[in-house]
Chains A and B, each alone.
Chain A
Amino acid sequence: MKNVAIVACGLAPFGVRKATWRELVQEASKAVFDDVQNLDKKDIDSLFVGAAMPERFAFQSHVAPLVAEQVGIVPHKVVTRTELACSSGQSAVRTAWASIVTGLSDIALCLGVEKMNMPNMLETQTSMACVLEREWDGVQGASAPPFFAMCAQRHMHEYGTTVEQMAMVSEKNHHFSTTNPYAQFQKEIPAEKVLGSPMIAPPLRLFDCSGITDGAAAVILTSEERAKEFTDVPTYIIGSGQCSMASNLANYKSLSTWHPMKIAAKEAYRSAKIGPMDLDFAEVHDCFTISEIIEYEDAGFCEKGEGGKFIEEGQSNIGGKMPINTRGGLLGTGHPLGATGIGQIVEVMQQFRSTVPKERLVDGAEMAMAHNLSGAANVHSILVFGRSPR
């Protein structure tokens, strides 16, 4: 299979932005084109836009041509939008990758964006409930926080995980985000503060949850053959796994083990010809603190049930067995749905280039993965990256 490389990356600052959807697009576009050398916009033949709910957050459909115009390109091989809720950004990159592998596309721009803060927060919360199966689950008043709260309850019940361990995940990721000027949250949140924050859906409190965020992120992909024209340090895609299992909550096997994640991870490692501990660091989808703990386990970084111990021992920090979410994760950086997956890949690329601040640098990293879940953790998407091609 043809090797594909990411050759440029750029971010719009994440946060409660005084900017519209299309202005966020322009900011990420400027950032990615500022980052790339020797690329004429005319040579971008494909565009993939990761956007989860522009219809509901920005009252706009048919967004790919809008992005193409804002960016100033005329894609003439593939132009499309990818929607997979919280994984919409990674979906754009996965689809671009597949298009380059087949030879259909030569150079592709992937741009992920979401504008979630609206004049009335109630509208955002209402739209978030349709990420679940709305007619049967959303209708009961369920949305992300209650779902993940029940995952936490089951994990605590089955494995003895504690709210203190969950709070440590929040503390770690908020600490990392203080090193990231593009992050929504810029202050340290010690574990005690997490445990004293307002209850949202027990046992989850405010700082167990990622934010409602505006943001955008972009990357440019091309084949290995052309990669060095555009950057000295390309980031290669060396493995992939993705799995969807169930939609209606009634049909879940478990809340404390995410079976589709185990399947996606197994396939990602198989295709990259590695084991989990061959990775030097990982970006995982910490939409809630409990998510990161379950993901340590189902990614294979520790034994089942030992995710709480993993954070407590500092194994997911710099210097631990597997540094996790060095840019600050979703908890610290915020979670603009369509931008999140690409924002994670920006971190991977900047780590490989050693351009992140020293306090979060994983020195000499050669391999990493980016993981997203979407919906009620029923879809898991993983890409594995290398500083060298396979």
Chain B
Amino acid sequence: MTTIVLPYMLDFYPLQDEDNTRIHQFYASLREGKLTTTKCKDCGGLFWPPRVACPGCNSDQFEWVELLDEGELYAFTAMLLGAPLGMEKDVPFVLGMVQLDGTEFKVLSRIGNTKYEDCSLGMRVKLETYDLEDGRVWFRFVPITSD
């Protein structure tokens, strides 16, 4: 079970288990290194983030689909000053919008293993998942290296 150290109202990460969210499958897949989302079985609509009711056709029938785990930087910057509580130790960190291959989604993510100066528009990145100290899981993207 998750033990949250910060007061819950100062905790940024979503509660991930089935006692707390109906999209717990997303986090279970993330733990296996897969980025997934829901696809509506009735209208075929693909939405990010995952849904439990379709904003397109009002269906509640979904299937989980795996998304491609690579994309390119549509935009990026770095947080140098003013990071929220719990993230001060990470400063400076790079943030970017990743145009995910095969979708129209520009997923906002930390861009790890790099510095702002080494990033460029269009740079190829791939998904990397990691465990939080309290047992939850999260994701970021990292540059794809040539080797």
Q: Does B associate with A? A: yes
| Residues of chain A at the chain B interface (Cβ within 8 Å) | 122-123, 125-126, 128-129, 134-143, 145-146, 149-151, 153-154, 157, 198-204, 248-252, 255
Q: Bound complex: CA of A119 vs CA of B75, how far in Å?
A: 34
Q: Which of A123, A129, A199 touches B12 (beta carbons < 8 Å)? A: A129
Tell whether, in the assembled complex, residue B87 and residue A250 are in contact, meaning their CB atoms are under 8 Å apart.
Answer: no
- Binary contact readout B1-32 vs A (1 if CB under 8 angstroms, 0 otherwise): 00000000010111000000000000000000
Tell whether, in the assembled complex, residue A248 and residue B49 are in contact, meaning their CB atoms are under 8 Å apart.
Answer: yes
Q: Bound complex: CA of A124 vs CA of B40, how far in Å?
A: 39
**Chain A: minimal CB distance from B142 (Å):** 14
19 contacts between A and B (CB under 8 A): A122-B84, A123-B85, A125-B85, A126-B84, A128-B84, A139-B13, A141-B87, A142-B95, A145-B79, A150-B77, A151-B75, A157-B121, A201-B77, A201-B95, A204-B77, A250-B48, A250-B100, A250-B106, A252-B97
- Chain B residues lying within 8 Å of A201, measured Cβ to Cβ, are 77-81, 95
Tell whether, in the assembled complex, residue A139 and residue B12 are in contact, meaning their CB atoms are under 8 Å apart.
Answer: yes
Tell whether, in the assembled complex, residue A126 and residue B109 are in contact, meaning their CB atoms are under 8 Å apart.
Answer: no
- Chain B residues lying within 8 Å of A146, measured Cβ to Cβ, are 77-79, 95
**Chain B: minimal CB distance from A194 (Å):** 16
Tell whether, in the assembled complex, residue B85 and residue A140 are in contact, meaning their CB atoms are under 8 Å apart.
Answer: no
**Chain B: minimal CB distance from A258 (Å):** 14
**Chain B: minimal CB distance from A251 (Å):** 7
- Chain A residues lying within 8 Å of B109, measured Cβ to Cβ, are 140
The residue of chain B having its C-beta at the shortest distance from the C-beta of A150 within the complex is B75
**Chain A: minimal CB distance from B71 (Å):** 11
**Chain A: minimal CB distance from B113 (Å):** 15
Q: Which of B14, B48, B88 touches A251 (beta carbons < 8 Å)? A: B48
Given that A140-B109, A157-B121 are contacting pairs, would A126 and B10 also be in contact in the complex, using a CB cutoff of 8 Å?
yes
The answer to the question of B116 belonging to the interface, with a C-beta cut-off of 8 Å to chain A, is: yes
Tell whether, in the assembled complex, residue B83 and residue A145 are in contact, meaning their CB atoms are under 8 Å apart.
Answer: no
Most buried by B among A140, A145, A202: A140
Main secondary structure of the interface of A (DSSP, over half): helix
Q: Which of B14, B82, B96, B110 touches A143 (beta carbons < 8 Å)? A: B82
Q: Bound complex: CA of A11 vs CA of B74, how far in Å?
A: 42
The 6 closest A-B pairs by CB, nearest first: A150-B75, A149-B77, A126-B84, A250-B105, A139-B12, A126-B85
- Chain B residues lying within 8 Å of A145, measured Cβ to Cβ, are 79, 82
- Binary contact readout B61-83 vs A (1 if CB under 8 angstroms, 0 otherwise): 00000000000001111111111
Most buried by B among A138, A151, A252: A252
Tell whether, in the assembled complex, residue B97 and residue A140 are in contact, meaning their CB atoms are under 8 Å apart.
Answer: no
Q: Bound complex: CA of A28 vs CA of B107, how far in Å?
A: 42
**Chain B: minimal CB distance from A246 (Å):** 10
**Chain A: minimal CB distance from B40 (Å):** 16
Q: Bound complex: CA of A41 vs CA of B137, how far in Å?
A: 56
Q: Bound complex: CA of A141 vs CA of B100, how far in Å?
A: 20
Q: Bound complex: CA of A251 vs CA of B121, how far in Å?
A: 19
Given that A122-B85, A134-B12, A139-B13 are contacting pairs, would A199 and B108 also be in contact in the complex, using a CB cutoff of 8 Å?
no
Q: Bound complex: CA of A146 vs CA of B105, how far in Å?
A: 18
**Chain A: minimal CB distance from B81 (Å):** 5
- Chain A residues lying within 8 Å of B10, measured Cβ to Cβ, are 126
**Chain A: minimal CB distance from B48 (Å):** 5
- Chain B residues lying within 8 Å of A248, measured Cβ to Cβ, are 48-49, 108
**Chain A: minimal CB distance from B137 (Å):** 12
Q: Which of A137, A154, A198 touches B108 (beta carbons < 8 Å)? A: A137
- Chain B residues lying within 8 Å of A139, measured Cβ to Cβ, are 12-14, 138
Tell whether, in the assembled complex, residue A138 and residue B84 are in contact, meaning their CB atoms are under 8 Å apart.
Answer: yes
Tell whether, in the assembled complex, residue A141 and residue B75 are in contact, meaning their CB atoms are under 8 Å apart.
Answer: no
Tell whether, in the assembled complex, residue B106 and residue A252 are in contact, meaning their CB atoms are under 8 Å apart.
Answer: yes
**Chain B: minimal CB distance from A219 (Å):** 32
The residue of chain B having its C-beta at the shortest distance from the C-beta of A132 within the complex is B108
Q: Which of B76, B81, B85, B88 touches A150 (beta carbons < 8 Å)? A: B76
Q: Bound complex: CA of A142 vs CA of B87, how far in Å?
A: 10
- Chain A residues lying within 8 Å of B140, measured Cβ to Cβ, are 140
Question: Beyond the given A126-B85, A201-B80, A251-B105, could you list 6 further A-B residue pairs with CB under 8 A, ordered by the A residue number?
Answer: A122-B85, A146-B79, A150-B75, A198-B81, A201-B77, A251-B104
